[in-house]
Copies of this chain bind each other. A is one copy, B any other.
């Protein structure tokens, strides 16, 4: 009750700003022109990585894994396929689904990209207070969950 609703709102705005800025900064740091990761778009990177760590996925699963719409996923896969990094394989027994598989070229590329991706991430985050870090992670998860949870009802 010490704080007015208006002050609270302003602090919320501030956190929103900080979140956006941090996300943009990290993403642009990783995909900066000249870095190895700049060879693929963020979405493409996310897709390749998901396929690399989890193996072949249905296009829908992949879309879900990297939080993209199905329409968008079609385009992303189109572009990856055009460069020969993934293939669309039919699934025996259900002709509705397409399995997306990394090609050798795709696997090679993501293996090439991951070390730099990793070192850039370490650049950015290392040395920060671990406890703050964990609390921040938890808070952000709580925020996302809160919205996700209240989504269905509203």
Contacts and interface: CB of A to CB of B under 8 A. Distances in A.
With most chain B CB atoms within 10 A of its CB, the pick from A14, A25, A128 is: A25
A143 B22 contact: yes
Q: Which range holds the interface residue count of chain A? A: 35 or more
A9 B20 CA distance: 21
Interface in A5-30: 5, 8-9, 11-16, 18-26, 28-29
Given A25-B144, A26-B143, 14 more contacts: A5-B122, A8-B122, A9-B121, A12-B122, A14-B137, A15-B140, A18-B144, A19-B26, A23-B23, A25-B143, A26-B147, A29-B147, A124-B146, A136-B136
Interface of A: 5, 8-9, 11-16, 18-26, 28-29, 67, 118, 121-126, 128-129, 132-144, 146-148, 150-151
